[in-house]
Structure 1
Amino acid sequence: MPILEVQDLSVSFVQYTKGLRQKKVQAITSLDITMHEGEILAVVGSSGSGKSLLAHAILGILPSNARVSGTINYSGDELTPVRQASLRGREIALVPQSVNYLDPLMSVGAQVRTSVHNDNPVEVQKKIFERYHLDPDLDKKYPFQLSGGMARRTLVSMAMVSGAKLIIADEPTPGLDSIVIKEALSNFRELADHGCAVMMITHDLGSALQIADKIAIFYAGTTVEVAPVKDFFGRGEKLRHPYTKALWRALPQNEFVPIPGSQPLPNTLPSGCLFEPRCETATRECSLKQPKIQEIRGGMVRCIHAT
């Protein structure tokens, strides 16, 4: 049984324009992912593709003007708002993208200790500070007294000590030096190897390939492909979606070929395949309706021409 299953998730926001006219902005459309225990799923996509919104939808921390449809199941049961509140920070932990998630009125040591639910909080906090090269004296300092890198390491520490079964790491490595990045990635892999499920949200496909089992590619608020890491090699011959192939070829270590055009904004989404306006292999059929996700060659893809 999957520990997390997201099916046909859509998230929109109600906004008011001039004259108090109401409009709906569609941020996520028909998004699907599945995760199992002991697995690292890397969610990769450009800014605005829906990566962080997915994390917030799972945790139930979207703003009040959000409208959500579709289903999110955790350990086989639906994640209702009440269940999200009871699991948040315990069985499901977030490493947020912004260091502003730290409580400005609480010392960082105390914040880490409040995340410990099973062992001795003081001992666990000391060990995790040592592991992430945080000076013991920092436990009495407040977030504004920390550098960006220190604050990010504190956020990672809080998730690591929580004992969660599902960790969602939203861009966990920016602001960290190469040694700490390597150690953080290694720790996520270690957690997965001991049965934890880890969702790593990132722009960095290269880092994701170092530790992930599967890569989910997001584009304009939907999943266009989920592929095993082993399919990312050569010129991307084993990949299924044109966007994934283009993203792979655009990496500096590969062909460094730019993708023409830009990702559409939530209020200008095309009626058909969301990648169709930029796709070199698109046909008229691609512009008629958004394709359904389908299983092909051990992966998932949203493209009518995928083989």
Structure 2
Amino acid sequence: MSLILEKLSVKESNPVNKAQGKPDTVEKKGSPLLVVNNLSVRFRMYEKGLKQRELEVISHLDVTIHKGEILAVVGSSGSGKSLLAHAILGILPANATMAGTLNYDEEPLTPKRQKKLRGHEIALVPQSVSYLDPLMRVDKQVRGEKGTQEQQRKVFERFALKEEAGQKFPFQLSGGMARRVLVATAVLSDAKLIIADEPTPGLNPEIAEETMRIFRELADQGCGVMLITHDIDLALKYADRIAVFYAGTTVEVTPVENFLQGGDALRHPYSRALWHALPQNGFNPISGSQPYAGSIHTGCRFAPRCEWISGECAGEVPMRRVGDCEVRCVHAS
């Protein structure tokens, strides 16, 4: 816990580049902390009475998070971002089956290990405030098993939470306060891997920026941060790499500089479409919509909306290295 105290007590522990929100001197990316390879998630569903079917919602998903980095995971709703978080933590519902490999800190992340590390070395900032225990006062939830009142006071101060907020129950908090409490709980968990699932909606801009600065500080101290977000602009200021999801799989993982530049710096056509859809880049949508999981077949999932479509897109399209990024497209160069 002393490491967390050091991070929390020094607000300006690193000189920050105001244009990007990142330290002027960024440490070299560390070794892989989490490696997800060829992940698939299926749900057992009932249709037409007692007839069962397996609905695949994630397939061939690959992603790596290194020590000391923030990986921002972006994509439209339903692309598999939150499901990936739940798969890593081992909290998928009972009707889900998972295939592929998960490795954490160079060892298999088995269900037994997930249970041991969850809430300790691997912390979740959930999307829903319903994850807070409704029968426990806020201060006890933030401190957890090892935290102290002094540590809680400091983290409350950073998130603009008053001392009396700790004596309240979750239902007595506003939505923004409850979300700040969720982030504070993860910060004090002493985690090596933080999975933040939409941590900033409902926060005013100042608190959202402070939240991201704290994640940046944790990463600079060696933690790995997976930031699942729709706020791409905020993510671009603090993340190291961007992982773009589409229809349950990874289509591109690229350095944040490429996403800032846009155009040819992005290799996948969906990444380019996502960049052009941002307000500052013209707010230009493309026709069509992301396919529903039950309608997905073999081949490139983006092909029906892609101007590059060819016969090659109907076959298997693995992730491959192109320049400084990884991309799932046979035409990327």
For Structure 1 versus Structure 2, the TM-score category normalised by the shorter chain is: over 0.9
Matched, 1:166 2:170: no
Q: Could you tell me how far 1:235 is from its partner in structure 2?
A: 4.4
Amino acid aligned to 2:195: I
> What do the CA deviations read for 1:4-48 (whole angstroms, capped 9, x no partner)?
000000001001122200011111010000111100000001110
Alignment match, 1:79? 109
**2:206 equivalent in structure 1:** 179
User: Equivalences for 1:160-239 in 2 at 5 Å?
Assistant: 160-239=187-266
Report if aligned partners of 1:247, 1:259 keep a CA contact under 8 Å in 2: no
Q: Which residue of 2 aligns with 1:6?
A: 36
Aligned counterpart, 2:48: 18
List aligned pairs for 1:94-109, cutoff 5 A.
94-109=124-139
User: CA offsets, 1:235-262, max 9 Å, x none?
Assistant: 4211110000111011110122112100
Hey, what does 2:286 align to over in structure 1? 259
Cα distance in 1, alignment partners of residues 218 and 262 from structure 2: 32
How far apart, CA to CA, are the structure 1 residues paired with 2:33 and 2:261?
32
**Does residue 296 of the first structure (1) align with residue 322 of the second (2)?**
yes
How many residues align structurally? 303
**1:277-292 aligned within 5 A:** 277-286=304-313, 288-292=314-318
Secondary structure class of the residue paired with 1:3: strand
Change (3 A) 1:132 1:75: same
Shift of 1:204: 1.8
Give CA deviations for 1:165-208 in whole Å, capped at 9, x if unaligned: 00000000001001100100111111111111100001122111
Deviation at 1:289, TM superposition (A): 2.1
Q: Tell me the SS of whatever aligns to 1:273.
A: coil
Q: Which amino acid aligns with 2:169?
A: Y
Q: CA deviation at 1:217?
A: 0.1
1:33-82 deviation line (CA, Å, top 9, x unaligned)? 01111000000011100000000000000001101000000011100000
The TM-score with structure 2 as length reference comes to 0.89
In structure 1, distance between residues paired with 2:115 and 2:262? 44
1:275 maps onto 2:297 in alignment: no
| Structure 2 counterparts to residues 81-160 of structure 1, below 5 A | 81-114=111-144, 117=146, 120-160=147-187
In structure 1, the gaps of 5 or more residues are: none
Q: Distance in 1 between matches of 2:50 and 2:82?
A: 28
Residue by residue over 1:210-251, the C-alpha shift from the partner in whole angstroms, topping out at 9 and shown as x without a partner, is 100000000000000000011124442111100001110111
Letter of the aligned partner of 1:109 in structure 2?
D
Aligned to 2:49, the other structure's residue is in SS state helix
Runs ≥4 residues deviating over 4 A: none
Give the whole-Å Cα distance in 2 for the aligned partners of 1:38 and 1:230. 17
Partner of 2:77: 47
Tell me how large the CA RMSD over aligned residues is. 1.0
- Ranges in structure 2 where 5+ consecutive residues have no aligned partner: 1-30
Percent sequence identity over aligned pairs: 59
One-letter amino acid of the structure 2 residue matched with residue 74 of structure 1: Y
Give the counterpart letter for 2:105 in structure 1.
Answer: S
Q: What's the counterpart of residue 17 of structure 2?
A: none
* Whole-angstrom CA distance in 1 between matches of 2:246 and 2:240: 20
TM-score norm. by structure 1 comes to 0.97
Deviations 1:114-169 (A, max 9, x none): 1x53xx52111111111111110111110110000000000000000111000000
